[in-house]
Chain A
Amino acid sequence: MSASDRGGPQARDVNRPRPSSRLQLALKDALVATAVAAALFVPLVALRTDIGAGGGLALRFRWKEAAILCGLVFLGRLALVLWTGRRGLRPSTAPGPWTDRLQQAGRLAAPAFLAVALVLPAIPGIDRYELDLGILVLTYVMLGWGLNIVVGLAGLLDLGYVAFYAVGAYSYALLAQYFGLSFWICLPLAGIFAAFWGILLGFPVLRLRGDYLAIVTLAFGEIIRVVLINWASFTGGPNGITGIPRPSFFGLPFSMAGGEGTFAGFFGLEPSVSHRVIFLYYLILGLALLTNWVTIRLRRQPLGRAWEALREDEIACRALGINVTTTKLSAFALGAMFGGFAGAFFATRQAFISPESFTFIESAIILAIVVLGGLGSQIGVAVAALVLIGGFEVFRGLEEWRMLVFGGAMVVIMVLRPRGLVGTRTPSIALGKKRTISGDLVGEGR
């Protein structure tokens, strides 16, 4: 809606440009946009180097493609401006139509998501592929929720979250390899190790904020990966670790042999690969829900409130007697612990891990999930993970273009909703009815 459209009938008459001038305006705007597009597309699309006949580089011109793209930009911008007015698309952090629907109907949406997630393996037409995709999405939902504690609630920008994921995965893999411990013993251990490393990272960065914190956490993520690559005698180096034991169902292994002591044999089922996939699916669902449950509960309690207060104003926290050090460390530790759980799950699911899986891009994706979903919003993070990871798979048919679709989608979301899908905050306690708080007021942490 343009500003002129919002005014009363009188304002409308005064402010609305006459049709001809509006068209002129739109044409001008579209031409400017086309010029920008041309400046981009001429070097990017129109000029292409190929290997020529003689083995050297040859320049090929693709003027037609560039012209088509510029034309599309022109028409698109013209239509957009004519349709909505020049200032039509505005960033907004206010509860938008879909946030409203998401949050107001949140009581419906969240249980609906949960119900679908719970019965997914039983839905007809859901195959191995869909379940694997579900496991992948849920892993990222869990990682997103874990990082949400650090970034969303405590407001500490962490670019190295994947380090804890790696610590969890390697903890399980190495404990299983060297000591032969089972998954169920290693799972809590992996969480504890990751939390320990979270605290270890937390100490030096306690006094850092914003960009500086981001850089140090980024470096920490890389250090962990580089150590994993180079300490070949212990971690297997770039070759990774193979043959990581699969999880058992309370001691019953999932085996195709179907003997007496296996899952299929015990329950008298036909041995099938899908048993394990379904089990893994429910395992990660349970872990993700645990993360969610702990976060939701903590948010309503002093520790969670102190995290949020820390995000809002650290100095005021100190003046109120809150120990900023332990509060920050607890956020790092808890976030890292859930990352560690997810890592152990990842290791047991893949049965193979290598440092390749824990590159910076993973951190970036998890952070993107949290930011796109809306800092601090549980349902927003879940939806963002579903859209980002699930969408990425769905658009597999587009091949290399899917990166473009994806980047475009992210840019659109960030232009329109700078605070993420759910940019509002729900109070943790209220005397009357809980009313959502506009994202403009809520701090983003520094």
Chain B
Amino acid sequence: MSDRGRILHPPRRVMPILEVAGLTMRFGGLTAVSAVGFAAGRGEITALIGPNGAGKTTLFNCITGFYRPSEGVIRLHKPDTEPVELQRLAGHRIARAGVARTFQNIRLFAGMTALENLLIAQHVTLMAATGWGIGAVLGLSRYPAAERAAVERAKRWLMATNLMDRADDPAGALPYGAQRRLEIARAMCTEPALLCLDEPAAGLNPRESDELARLLLDIRAQGTSILLIEHDMGVVMRISDRVVVLDHGVLIADGVPAAVRADKKVIAAYLGEDEDSVPA
């Protein structure tokens, strides 16, 4: 079926992985996000775009538990489990529920090696294997096997992000592009159902952006859904299955990339509104 056919029909019925409904976030008198609702499809890449200050990162922080939304519901639908209402969970429980994130300004553990960064991401699994730390101190538990498995997983992601030769280097000493990739690898080591990326292509050169796009497609192919904020429209239009556009905290468009690109309101939001095109 052609893209064109898909645009004309109502949105495809893909099972959602994340469902956001009526989400509002107010900071005092300022409403950063206002009654936003959308769904991110399972096994899809959903892009969240919009001009600066549109409320994308605020929305992201609500989904990943860094802000508690003023109103609204955020539901995570993992396969074969009951939906989880993320806005009710404590910050660290959201990650355990299966939502991993990266940060706009990279937040790696700079003084620790790439490998250590990836092992910390598996803290929850590893900690369970140590028997609350006590068993492992005494050398009694199944910890060594768990750690070997964790190192194997870390190696797999180091390989996937092309960082194998930098495994023992401190994360803070890696070049910028490598830090971006390592942050994605770290998020993936938590084995998320939904990976949230905040401007992963920011500051990357065109070749690195291409590599990133390939990496994201690989991640999708392995079954992890992706929600990303991105300003690099080349990347967004190339890899996204669906694009959600915010402007001044309000959802103004939601559809497949080609449809969104042609949307008048989106163009107006990005380029500034023309006098003639202001809707009545």
Contacts and interface: CB of A to CB of B under 8 A. Distances in A.
| Genuine A/B complex | yes
A318 interface: yes
Nearest to A424: B111
A301 B127 CA distance: 8
B137 A432 contact: no
Given A297-B136, A301-B137, A435-B168, A308 B107 contact: no
A437 interface: yes
A434 interface: yes
B109 A427 contact: no
B119 A322 contact: no
Contact of B95 (A301, A318, A430): A318
A324 B90 CA distance: 11
B111 A425 contact: yes
A25 interface: no
A330 B127 CA distance: 13
Interface residues of B, number: 44
Interface string A283-303: 000000000001001100111
Given A301-B133, A428-B116, A433-B168, A306 B123 contact: yes
A5 to B, nearest CB: 27
B99 to A, nearest CB: 9
Given A294-B137, A316-B109, A320-B95, A441 B123 contact: no
B186 interface: yes
A333 B100 CA distance: 29
Given A309-B112, A312-B110, A320 B167 contact: no
A55 interface: no
A429 B115 contact: yes
Contact count band on A: 35 or more
Contacts of A318: 65-66, 91-92, 95
Given A298-B133, A303-B130, A441-B172, A321 B92 contact: yes
Nearest to B168: A430
A438 B112 CA distance: 10
A301 B136 contact: yes
Given A312-B112, A429-B115, A321 B133 contact: no
A323 interface: yes
A301 B143 contact: yes
Contacts of A312: 109-112
B92 A324 contact: yes
A320 B120 contact: yes
Q: Which of A302, A428, A431, A443 has the most CB of B within 10 A?
A: A302
25 contacts: A301-B133, A302-B123, A305-B112, A305-B116, A306-B127, A308-B111, A309-B120, A312-B111, A316-B109, A317-B120, A318-B95, A319-B100, A319-B107, A321-B95, A323-B92, A427-B112, A427-B113, A427-B115, A427-B168, A429-B115, A431-B168, A437-B112, A437-B113, A442-B110, A443-B110
Interface of B: 64-66, 91-96, 100-101, 103, 107-113, 115-116, 119-121, 123-124, 126-127, 130, 133, 136-137, 143, 151, 155, 167-170, 172-173, 186-187, 190
Given A302-B136, A305-B119, A437-B113, 15 more contacts: A297-B136, A301-B126, A301-B130, A302-B126, A303-B130, A305-B116, A315-B107, A318-B66, A320-B121, A321-B124, A322-B120, A322-B123, A427-B115, A429-B119, A441-B170
